Amino acid sequence: GVLLVFGAGLGAAVSATIGVGAIAVAQGLDPSALAVNWFTWWLGDASGLILVTPLIVYLVRLPYRKPTWFQLIEGLALVFGAAGVGLLALTGSIGRAWAVPGQFLIMVLIIWTAFILGPRISMLSVNVVAAVAVIAAVRLEGPFVDPSRNTTLLSLQAAMCGLAIATLILATMVEQRREALLVAEAVRDELEQKVHERTAQLEELATHDPLTGLMNRRAFSAVLDRAVQQARRAHPSALLFGDLDGFKSFNDARGHAAGDAALVAVAEVLRTEARGADAVARLGGDEFALLLDGASRAGAAAVSERIGERIGGLGVDAGVPMGVSIGVVSIDGALAGDELLAAADRAMYAAKATSDGSIVVVADIATAADPAGDPTADAAGG
């Protein structure tokens, strides 16, 4: 719009007025010829601006998009097709009966180019057609030729100017639509990414403890059920159930922020003791669980001892006594997941009741599910 109104309209009018006025003063131009000369000058300047300026701007300023081989071949075919049809329809190479349909075919090809390949190639096609029409008119060939050279010039300029304006408007609309689609796609992709991230966050909150990042009870129960199924296929494992000793005193003495930091530190201890196929969870409060995939009862006891020593070290470093009581149960497929947690929980409380240790290992899985039975067979110092 700015180019048409201020460039081709106002700018070319100023240029034509100055030029024709200078000729009239210098050479005494007949007043009756002023209007014709002014219009010819103005139309020539306007045609040049409308034809060439958009092409230069598109070549320099419009972002380049790497075309596919098909688009490249299609673009070359359309440009050369417009040039070829222009040679036939604008140079008089075909009969007059075919020349008019050929001229309309030029517009069809340029519209096709604007929709498929954008304004840069469509304006290039217009300039190629304009060059063919100018050459034909100079050779006195084609539909624009008139006994009056001025009429020939005006007809040629008006036709090419109209073709360029129509193509420019169409190409601009197509480009704006393409840019709007790109913006819409970018917004859609951004929204999809945000939805994906939010969904992942919700899934994380549904299955993990927000403070420590460990599994919560719900997620750990599902893992434990799978471990039971594997144990029934001759792949036993071990379950550790731990509860911190002296944590309330630690929390009261150091404050809740320090208590949260201590829980995070305990979670890190459990993570470092876990292997790739193991699972670690915070079941609630200061209760933790560790599933040792494929571990024997003795191996689980050894891991429990290391955990007890390291957690005890955390209390020593903080200056407030803190330890851990751990119950250990072998997973052999005899008990379901919730029964294993209950058995390990009882073993943990049995560990708290011992005076010489903080680890109790269930030796008889048959009695582990019986609250009246004795779930412990041995205790290890922790």
Per-residue pLDDT tens, the chain, 382 aa: give them. 666 665 566 666 777 677 767 776 666 666 666 777 777 777 777 777 778 877 888 777 777 677 777 877 877 888 888 888 777 777 766 666 666 677 778 888 888 888 877 778 888 888 888 888 888 888 787 777 778 777 777 787 888 888 888 888 888 888 888 888 889 999 999 999 999 988 887 877 788 898 999 999 999 999 999 999 999 988 889 999 999 988 888 888 888 898 999 999 999 999 999 988 899 999 989 999 999 999 888 899 999 999 998 988 887 776 777 888 999 999 988 889 999 999 999 999 988 887 555 677 775 544 444 444 444 445 554 4
Number of H helices, E strands in the chain: 13, 6
Q: What is the pLDDT of residue 381?
A: 47
Dig out the tokens for 350 from the structure.
């049995």
Distance CA(275)–CA(297), nearest Å, equals: 16
Q: Which helix (H) or strand (E) holds 237?
A: strand 237-245
289 in Cβ contact with 239 (< 8 Å): yes
167 in Cβ contact with 121 (< 8 Å): no
Question: What's this model's pTM, rounded to 2 decimal places?
Answer: 0.51
Q: What is the pLDDT of residue 133?
A: 81
Dig out the tokens for 65 from the structure.
């998009």
Q: Which of 381, 245, 256, 259 is nearest to 318 (CA)?
A: 259
Q: What is the pLDDT of residues 103-148, one digit of tens each?
A: 778 888 888 888 877 778 888 888 888 888 888 888 787 777 778 7
Please give the full DSSP string across 135-181, using - where no structure is assigned. Answer: HHHHTT-STT--SSHHHHHHHHHHHHHHHHHHHHHHHHHHHHHHHHH
Q: What is the pLDDT of residues 48-99, one digit of tens each?
A: 777 887 788 877 777 767 777 787 787 788 888 888 877 777 776 666 666 6
